[in-house]
Chain A
Amino acid sequence: MSIDFSQKTVLSTKELFRQADFDNILKCVHCGLCLDSCPTYRELGDEKDSPRGRLYLMRGLWEGELELEAAVIDPLSRCLDCRACESACPSGVPYGELLEKTRGIILENTQQSLKERILRFFLLRGLFRSTNLLITASWILKIYSASGLPKLITNTFFAKLLPQAFVFQQHLLPKCSGKSFKRKHADQILAPLSMENKQEGAAQIRKENLRVGMFSGCIMDVSEAAIHESTLTLLRHIGCEVVVPGNQSCCGALHVHSGDRKTAREFALKNIAAFENRHLDAIITNAAGCGAQLQEYHHLFTETNAGKQKDTRPAADWKKFENKVTDILEFLSAYPDLLANLPWSKDEDTVLYDAPCHLMHAQKVDENPRKLLNSLPGVKLVVLNESNWCCGSAGIYNLVQPELSAAVLNRKTASIRQTLAENPKASTIVTANPGCLYQIRAGIRSNNIDLRILHPVVYLAERLLLN
């Protein structure tokens, strides 16, 4: 293979990988059982765009048989990091960790395209670092949305004139609030709210004095306000004390997925500091991607080349932190009695369920959210055909790989259509990750599918009869 070594590094590719604690690559025995679970392989049918092929490339890099050149990097960039392959793999290959480390090495040791550098500089390194900038951006987007311009672009003849990707991006826009959730509640101790019907269970939880922290994220902190508010309401109503640390930051998932481990390490250190010493029993996330990232922070510090950011904390600190991180649905489902005693609406409704990749394949949370939703009075939960299939959002994948992302989304919209045809009464589809919410919402809007899309907690809160 030809060697292109125009990189900044003096270390060989092999040495770079040897420093990255990469031995788990050996767990892949090349059996191929993961192939059919991979959205890009199903789309392209090409071995190098399959999990096994990508691992084979990573292994080639690790062994020094391959070099960091575009032809090797491209298939790795086309990976959604959806981790469906991890669930399919019988050998326990930690695919996500290996890919993310590889992307880290790629970013630090190769030349990036101008588009990528700009995106990285303004978005990942700039915007997501600063709550003030996020609030400002949220304001601007809020005004932009209110101006009616996005609707004008998507609903009128403009849609035909403008580039498809641009029109689609209008559908993708988050619902911005222009306000920061964490600033609103910063560092207060939000007391449990008692419901009218005082049940034994509720007494029990208060006896335990459960205190939880809420992780608010970056974009989510300033948009889709209903999700955080509903989470807060539910937590308080089952009797938790809730704290929203004001000094928390973005989780860094988007950074890790795109190889920027430096910024992610910075966020990891900030977040662990923000949440520790607050006597929390759990750290609640409602974005599957953030939750998965917080649960895997220690991966960021296993490389011997983490440089100055080499972590000085004992591994036990990370373990303690990570073990506390729990998805809101998983958390709630541990208290079925408390939930059952809340005053729920009994209206009949059919809801479609979509399982976000980072909930199912990364956090391995699968059954409980479905059980929880199904247990609601009057609710019939229908799991989407291919519910565990990626929607193509995958962080900012839909912005950097628009074509493949669109193909993956098409498959999702097709399965929504099909499930809807089999269940014509369904009114709502729920998905527990904001990225998926934006993406699927854009998918159903641009295909004129008549469904509303909500985060499951918003749906739950909606059905709670509060007076």
Chain B
Amino acid sequence: MSFEKNIRGECVRILGAEWVKDDPVTLYTYRCDGLTLYTAPPMGVLFPGTVQELVSVVKLLHQHKISFIARGAGTGLSGGAIPQDGSVIIEMARFKEVHEVDMINRTITVGPGVINLRITEHVNGDGYHYAPDPSSQKACTIGGNVAENSGGPHTLKYGVTVNHVLGVEMVLADGELVTLGANHFGLPGPDLLGLITGSEGTFGIISKIICRLTPNPEKAVTMLGIYKSVRDACESVSSIIGHGIIPAALEMLDRIMISAVEKALKPGFPLDAEAVLIVELDGLSDGLDVEAEVVEKLLKETGAITVNRARDEVERAKIWRARKEAFGAIGQISPSYYVQDGVIPRSKLPEVLDEISAIGKKHGLTVANVFHAGDGNLHPLILYDYENPQEVEKAHAIGEEILSSCIRHGGTLSGEHGIGIEKAEWMSELYSGNSLDNMQNVRAFFNPENLLNPGKIFPQPGRCAESKSGTPPQQASALNKPKMVASKSGIAV
């Protein structure tokens, strides 16, 4: 598939030939994002460089009823940026401008292609940072973060993306440019900004973002609890929260994950531990050490065999790099992994983790765990060999059983990676048909012809057709999973 001649011509007129690509090799590399279990090539890829160009191409595509989808860095883990129905990809990587830093209002206005970590780097000298810190922060874009309402280790204390975005400029499906919010709090009326954050690119293409800046804490203490059992580590989590302490971050890695990060990044985690718990406290220096001592005591009471403290920034950075790059480090021990993102009530952690390990054993695959323990946001990584079709099937089965288990324990499908195409089918397990219809009606308000990022979030096929106002795009076809999995190069993350 590629652009029809007249469409191509129009795109070239708007963007210049250099920024319109539909050769087979480009399409090949854009056929998947961080989730490679499914692949589907786009019709073409457009690279607008200004808001005006973006508006013009959206208008053009809308006029010809061609579906389209925004893409940031393509680190999404639920297939949000995988084009369905041969949608056109609009690559936002060129929107890298920092428009304004406003220290009085503590805001920064950036283009959606700016990398999350760069925002913090930009203002760090002034003693500020951008709080949501997804583990992919050194690569993912702020536009993708808003679309996925991304979280990270430090969202336990500081909240997720939606708590840190004060305004957006957005291009609607028909090319209309709208602005929501400003560099201050408060948006009277329904919280449209909240609605857009986490809409996975189905409500509009974000072209500018006003982010809130957070002052750096005066001091941070990072501790590492080492455990003989995962259960004990879970007890520690409950104990800390039970004592009314809200750490900045509370993260757990199990034995398999420890072995992977030790191979790749050598943070110095003991290889014979069953689990390590990273606890970070931050705030004013006064009192922090006292709090740290309390935490240390609680950790030991609940079964930590040792508790180490990072002595300096270098040690602290090492621990965090190991935590944040843990998914990638899996490449050291397994050719592929498939990560789930279920959320459960914190109190159910020990039970569900036991269940997950049993599910893995039952199918004969290993499941590694690294997750936001404080939020009850699990990230079980199912390790398998993508070249072995049986293992691929097992990985799917394990993923589904894990999700069932999360739902059964009163949890939900996704903490931060989004529903995308990966979990769309699962939405009907979680919500009754009526709720889903209502949600789709909301989407239809923004995206009446379902041209924007079709095939995401809601179950397919036929769902859109059934909903009252959402009509499928011209070339819509049912999402055919088996066909897509068949792609061999799918590295199946």
Contacts and interface: CB of A to CB of B under 8 A. Distances in A.
Interface stretch (A65-73, A131-139, A234-242): A65-73
Interface string B102-128: 000000000001010110000000000
B91 A30 contact: no
Given A90-B264, A90-B325, A33 B136 contact: yes
A72 B34 CA distance: 21
A91 B139 contact: no
A190 B289 CA distance: 58
A320 B470 CA distance: 68
A63 B28 CA distance: 14
A33 B26 contact: no
B383 to A, nearest CB: 11
Contact of A36 (B29, B94, B139, B326): B139
Contact of A93 (B23, B47, B327, B331): B331
A316 interface: no
Interface string A80-93: 00000000111111
Given A65-B489, A91-B330, A46 B47 contact: yes
Contacts of A92: 263-264, 329, 331-332
B488 interface: yes
A278 interface: no
Contacts of A28: 331, 491
B493 A45 contact: no
B340 interface: no
Contacts of A246: none
Interface stretch (A52-60, A164-172, A333-341): A52-60
A60 B489 contact: yes
A56 B25 contact: no
Interface string B60-76: 00000000000001110
A382 to B, nearest CB: 15
Contacts, number: 124
A147 interface: no
Interface residues of A, number: 36
Interface in A17-66: 26-37, 41, 45-48, 53, 56-57, 59-60, 63, 65-66
A2 interface: yes
Given A30-B491, A45-B94, A65-B488, A91 B25 contact: no
A36 B21 CA distance: 21
B436 interface: no
B491 A47 contact: no
Interface in B18-43: 21, 23-26, 28-30, 32-34, 36
Nearest to A89: B328
Contact of A34 (B23, B47, B118, B139): B139
B335 interface: yes
B332 A60 contact: no
Interface in B445-493: 488-489, 491, 493
Contact of B335 (A2, A26, A63, A65): A26
A75 interface: yes
Count chain A CB atoms within 10 A of each CB in B117, B330, B331 and give the residue with the most.
B331
B30 A47 contact: yes
Contacts of A57: 25, 28-29
13 contacts: A2-B24, A26-B331, A28-B491, A29-B493, A30-B493, A31-B34, A31-B328, A32-B136, A41-B93, A45-B93, A60-B489, A63-B489, A92-B331
Enumerate the 3 nearest inter-chain pairs by beta-carbon distance, A residue then B residue, closest first. Answer: A91-B331, A45-B93, A90-B325
Interface of B: 21, 23-26, 28-30, 32-34, 36, 45, 47, 73-75, 91, 93-94, 113, 115, 117-118, 136, 138-140, 261, 263-265, 321, 325-332, 335-337, 488-489, 491, 493
Given A30-B36, A60-B489, A71-B25, 8 more contacts: A27-B331, A36-B117, A47-B30, A47-B91, A71-B24, A90-B327, A92-B331, A92-B332
